[in-house]
Amino acid sequence: PGTAEGRPGTAAAANDALRKEVAGLRLENQNMYHLQEENASLRKQVQDLKEALSHDKIREHNAKLTTKVKVYKAQCERLRQDAAGLGRPMTSAGTRATQEAETLSLLDEVEDYDEELAALVKKNVAMLSEIREDLSDTQRAFAEEEQEQEELLR
């Protein structure tokens, strides 16, 4: 009889323990859903921040590229003008000085944005100066040769 009475008491205790465990698991389960929702919300926020940061970087990069394009266009236009002037003799001494001043101004602008580009422009300016000198020397040589031929024909 004492053993039989102990068994129902043990069953009741086991039942209470199981009920407490189930209640604990239910509470844990509710917390899990709450944590999943919070986790999903935080992941969304992180993704939004990444996209915003990416857009800011793209805008910043775009602004830098736009500036470089403006500098390159100015450089290209000045080089075209310089190249157009190569075929014609200078009409005044100040024109070459003006072109050189403009080129130096361009170099200052370029150095602010890109040192490698500035070095390239300086190299191009030096080569352009050499080409001008060679062209001038060639024109003088042709002129001298023409004069010599005219003198021979007289």
Q: Which two tokens stand for residue 90?
A: 């200078």
Those residues whose C-beta lies under 8 Å from the C-beta of residue 124, and which sit 6 or more positions away, are: 79
Give residue-wise pLDDT tens across range 62-102. 888 888 888 888 887 887 777 776 655 445 455 666 777 77
Is residue 4 predicted with pLDDT exceeding 50? no
Q: How far apart are CA 60 and CA 42, in angstroms?
A: 27
CA dihedral 21, 22, 24, 30 (to 10 degrees): 160
Q: Indicate the DSSP class of residue 90.
A: -
Structure-token match 């003008």, residue found: 81
Q: Is the dihedral of CA 50, 52, 55, 59 positive or negative?
A: negative
Q: Among residues 91, 82, 63, 68, which one has the least CA distance to residue 127?
A: 82
Give residue-wise pLDDT tens across range 102-140. 777 776 776 666 777 777 877 887 888 888 888 888 888
What's the chain's average pLDDT? 78
